[in-house]
Amino acid sequence: MTASTAQTTMSDGTKGLVVRGLTTTFDTTRGLAIAAADVDFDVAPGEVVGLVGESGSGKSVTLRSIMRLIREPGKVSGRVEWGGRDLVAMPAEELRKVRGGEIAMIFQEPMTALNPVLPIGVQIEENLKAHTGLTGSQRRARALELMNIVGIPAAERRLDEYPHQFSGGMRQRAMIAIALACSPKLLLADEPTTALDVTIQDQILKLLLDLRDRLAMSVVLVTHDLGVVAATCDRMAVMYAGRIVETGTVAEVFARPHHPYTRGLLGSVPRSGHSRTMLQSIDGTPPSLTALPQGCAFHPRCSFATEICRTDRPPLDLIGAGRRVACHHHEEVAAAEPIL
């Protein structure tokens, strides 16, 4: 299912995931750190949305904020609508029923996310025990089924093994099995292929797409790899300094970026079939979250910046059907010479 065929509402008439004004801050010794600010995006049922940007741009914090996994001194505000309910304002007891049951998350590093002293089978069954009425033997059978679904060999024996006995790829598959235990309708995947070799990475991505189709599941995929976005996502949102600066279908954004940061990211990707040349790079470094520049946060690194960029922060404006960008000069950026 692609963005063009995905329905915008669920069977009960509500939208999939609707995020509006999501803001996450942390009180630090250096001042208030704004990790995510006024984040807006939607995810339709059956759709895969890629969230991309440099390390520290706010991608992982956004996923954790959606699930309300931010703890003090962090604070989350805004709206996260799921099935007509606001997850940000939802009582903790009700939210526990949603986490793992309706919305699941694959964390970035399975070796630290998995419990090292519990067998993999027990960790899968924990989710089933919390969200289903299955008996012990039924949970065991479901855990075995999930291990087979995600392609772990000798699954029956592996159920009783510990995370350190699994390879990196198998630990990631075990994380996916835990997340999919209760057949969630939304999967939040935080860089699920980080530190895996390209063969295992390809297998994991194909598995996620296959499960998306099989379970009619939506996916928010956090990654810094634009190749992964091109191969798996229907739409994408580009984040910089805690804000979304551009959204659109993958084809539209890749073909004609409207934000200088998106243009810089695309320019840094190696391309086959071209003569050997130096890769392009984005000058400078991302700003500190406790001392964001006035105006557009990207202006110190932007070759298109003018005085208005230094004083006025651009809103995330609609510039076409489903296409948004936060840039005062997005027309000039789009009209610039193509990135080779």
Instruction: Phi first, then psi: give them for residue 188, nearest 5 degrees.
Output: -100, 110
Instruction: Give residue 236's pLDDT.
Output: 96
Owner of token pair 């099989």: 214
Query: Distance of alpha carbon 287 from its chain centroid, rounded?
Result: 21
Contact (Cβ atoms closer than 8 angstroms) between residue 145 and residue 156: no
Contact (Cβ atoms closer than 8 angstroms) between residue 237 and residue 223: no
Q: Name 11's bridge partners.
A: none
CA distance 306 to 121: 57
Q: What tokens does 243 get? A: 């804000």
- Walk along the chain (340 residues) and give the pLDDT tens digit of each residue: 343 334 444 444 446 899 999 999 999 999 999 999 999 999 999 999 999 999 889 999 999 999 999 998 999 999 999 988 999 999 999 999 999 999 999 988 888 889 999 999 999 999 999 999 999 999 999 999 999 988 899 999 999 999 999 988 889 889 989 998 998 999 999 988 776 778 878 888 888 898 888 888 999 999 988 988 998 999 999 999 999 999 999 999 999 999 999 999 998 877 666 666 677 788 889 999 999 999 999 999 999 999 999 999 999 999 988 899 999 999 999 998 766 5
CA distance 318 to 323: 6
CA distance 65 to 161: 32
Domains of the chain: 17-102+184-272+280-335 (3.40.50.300)
Query: Distance of alpha carbon 57 from its chain centroid, rounded?
Result: 12
Instruction: Give residue 253's pLDDT.
Output: 95
Maximal C-alpha separation, the chain? 67
| H or E element in which residue 209 lies | helix 198-215
Contact (Cβ atoms closer than 8 angstroms) between residue 262 and residue 31: no
| H or E element in which residue 188 lies | strand 186-190
CA distance 90 to 96: 10
pLDDT in tens, 107-157: 888 888 899 999 999 999 999 999 999 999 999 999 999 999 888 999 999
Kindly report the pTM of this predicted structure.
0.89
CA distance 54 to 135: 45
pLDDT in tens, 194-216: 767 788 788 888 888 988 888 88
Owner of token pair 């910046």: 305
Identify each DSSP E strand in 169-328 by its residue range: 186-190, 218-223, 235-240, 243-249, 317-320, 323-325
Instruction: Give residue 50's pLDDT.
Output: 96
Handedness of CA 135, 136, 141, 143 (dihedral sign): positive
Contact (Cβ atoms closer than 8 angstroms) between residue 229 and residue 223: yes
